[in-house]
Amino acid sequence: MKFFASQCSFNYPWEHVSASAWRKYPNEMSTHVVAVDVLRREFNPQTGILTTERLITCKQNIPRWLLMIVGGRDTSYVREVSEVDPIKKTLILRSQNLTMNHLLSVQETVMYSPSKTDPTKTVFDQNARIVAYAAIDRLCNKIEEWSVERFKQNAAIGKLGFELVLKKLADTMPDGIFDSAQTASV
C-alpha cells in the first residue's frame, strides 16, 4: 500500500474554482482524460448540497510488461462522486478506479476550500491510497511504485491544465461575478 498527498492553492476565490471544476476535463494538458459522462446528479434542498456521479474515461501509457502480466488495456474507467456544499464552501471529489480494481485499487479524495488566510485563494488538497493485489509482494511493490509516480506526474500536469481552465473562465465571465456570489452567501 502506498499513499500520495499534494496540496497547493489557486489564485481564485472558491466560487470561481468550484464553477471551473466542471470544466476541468478535457483540457489540453490532461490528454489522458478522453471523456467525462455525468451518470447522476442530485440536489438536496435542505442542505444545499449538490451531489454528482461521473464516469471518467482515461487512456494511459501503461508499461507493456504490466499489460502482458495482467492482460489489460490502456483504456480505463474511474467513478467519481462529488459534493458541492455552498454553506461550508467545500467541493469534495472522491474517485475509485473501476478498471482492473481487483489488481490495483486507487482511491482518491480531493477537496477545494477557501484559504483561511486569503479569501481570494482556494486550497486544493489531494490524497490517494494505492493498493496492488498480487501473490508476489515484490510485484505489488513495483506496481504501486509505478502507480504513485504516474499519479504524481498526472497531478502536476492536471494542476497546469486546471490553471488554464481557471483563466479561461476568468476571461469569459464579467468582472466581479464571483464577488457578488461571495457577498450573497454571507
For 91-117, how does the pLDDT look when each residue is reduced to its tens digit (9 = 90+)? 999 999 998 888 889 999 999 999 999
Task: Give the per-residue pLDDT at 182.
Answer: 45
Task: Give the per-residue pLDDT at 185.
Answer: 43
Of the segments 79-88, 95-104, 160-169, which one has the largest average pLDDT value? 79-88
Burial 106-117 (b: 16+ CB within 10 A, else e): bebebbbbbeee
Mean pLDDT to the nearest integer, 167-179: 78
In the chain, what percentage of residues exceed pLDDT 90?
61
More confident residue, 70 or 44: 44
What string of DSSP letters covers 129-160? EEEE--S-HHHHHHHHHHHHHHHHHHHHHHHH
Examine the pLDDT at 8 and tell me if it is beyond 70. Answer: yes
Examine the pLDDT at 23 and tell me if it is beyond 60. Answer: yes
Q: Which strand (E) or helix (H) includes residue 37?
A: strand 33-43
Q: What is the pTM of this model?
A: 0.86
Task: Give the per-residue pLDDT at 178.
Answer: 66
In this prediction, residue 73 has a pLDDT band, given cuts at 50, 70 and 90, of: confident
Is 92 within 8 Å of 109 (Cβ atoms)? yes
Examine the pLDDT at 71 and tell me if it is beyond 70. Answer: no
| Span 53-62, pLDDT tens digits | 999 998 877 7
Of the segments 40-44, 65-69, 160-164, which one has the largest average pLDDT value? 40-44
Mean pLDDT to the nearest integer, 130-157: 90
Q: Which strand (E) or helix (H) includes residue 161?
A: helix 137-172
